[in-house]
Amino acid sequence: MKIAVVGTGYVGLVTGVCLSDIGHKVQCIDIDSEKVEKMRLGVSPIYEPGLEELMVKNIAEKRLFFTTDHKEGFMDADAIYIAVGTPEKEDGSANLLFVEQVAKDIAENVNSDVVVVTKSTVPVGTNDRINEIIQTNLVNNVKIHVVSNPEFLREGSAIFDTFNGDRIVIGADDEPAGNLIEEINKPFGISVFKTDLRSAEMIKYASNAFLATKISFINEISNICERIGANVEDVALGMGQDSRIGNQFLNAGIGYGGSCFPKDTKALIQISGNAGYEFELLKGVVQVNQNQQNLLLDKLNQRFDSITGKKIAVLGLAFKPNTDDMREAPSIVVTKRLIEQGAELTAYDPAAIENAKKLLSSEITYVNSVEEALKGSDLALILTEWSKIKEFPLENYKKLMKEAIVFDGRNCYELSDVKEHEIEYYSIGRPNVKKQKVLVEK
């Protein structure tokens, strides 16, 4: 089929590229002409493993195209996907300005009957609003139906998730329109769950809110574990073996970040409030996450009387590994407070440095390796569990640092391994490891 995708961020670009890879002819539309020119050359504007390879392949096979022209992009399209951002407003609600603009662009430019598919994460009732805007501004005599098809992609594994998802949710109040979207997705071979528009919108928010709740729950458990001498990893493992609970999203750390969980939890609280219901549980989830981002700093300040003038290596800046996304990353809060306390920061991240420079203090020094960050440092903070950090040899901390003191916000190392080296080690929800002299056999 012929498909148009409006917006080329994480959701739009991955959606467009993967739809082209299963055989559809896809036009990706973005108003940024410089960005479009790069994408035409197979250069991805975002860091996502495997994405550029699929872009190059499908551009070469003439299934994937990029344009700034809505009329060109919409020409004879069977479906138009809305995949623009819905950034968070100050009150926590979703800003629908970009979505509403796309609806107007569709109304003014479509020349044939088409199904409009909302991929953007939008509050309940937004698809009705999109339909209203389109019908009010429609120029040509065509029929348009709106379908909700929320995404459930994880940044860093979005390509894998597209081809290996648990389900595809389709919300439609017009059966033929819903069937068309099911047909488009059939080559993925993933089970389809059909429902009405508003239920589909709610499934997206409810899913993310539940996962965020699991993360905040295990982080609260980790804080108790530290106080009573338990190990949160063993606790999580024991919990996760219960099929009713499952083992996913039970990794203790310094909180969630990124483009989805923080925004979607706040938006759902706002949606609930607008409906006259106070979502107290979710408010607690958000507060726990905010507190958790300061946990490493609290540990550090308990260990040192002052960190003024201390040289600190910050390992990892992105909110999670395999992405360059800095949105709501704990590194934003942590580095800001460290700078305020007079520390000297040297930071490393395999992918997010350029995005980090736009958000973090200009006083931070950025380097290209873990070794460079650690060299001559007084202590190290691990904020993102990149494989390059998790696989970094423990013996090198002592070799490179003035003193091997590590605060690990992602529990990257096994305690048994740490104990074999001369490292002072603080992690989340686990016993601290005090530095001890390692005996070397002669």
State the catalytic residue, choosing from 18, 225, 260, 412. 260
Contacts of 219 (CB under 8 A, 6+ apart): 252, 253, 255, 288, 289, 292, 428, 429
Instruction: Please provide the DSSP assignment of 15-42 as one string.
Output: HHHHHHHTT-EEEEE-S-HHHHHHHHTT
Of 122, 116, 146, nearest to 6 by C-alpha is 116
Q: How far apart are CA 55 and CA 310, in angstroms?
A: 45
What is the four-CA torsion angle of 132, 138, 143, 144, rounded to 10 degrees? -50
Q: How far apart are CA 143 and CA 201, in angstroms?
A: 23
Tell me the three state secondary structure of residue 166.
coil
Of 151, 277, 244, nearest to 203 by C-alpha is 151
What is the four-CA torsion angle of 354, 152, 256, 389, rounded to 10 degrees? -60
Joined together, the tokens standing for residue 96 give 């629908």
Contacts of 193 (CB under 8 A, 6+ apart): 167, 168, 169, 170
Q: How far apart are CA 415 and CA 396, in angstroms?
A: 16
Instruction: Give the pairing of strands 168-172 and 144-148.
Output: antiparallel
Q: 260 catalytic, yes or no?
A: yes
Catalogue the active-site residues: 260
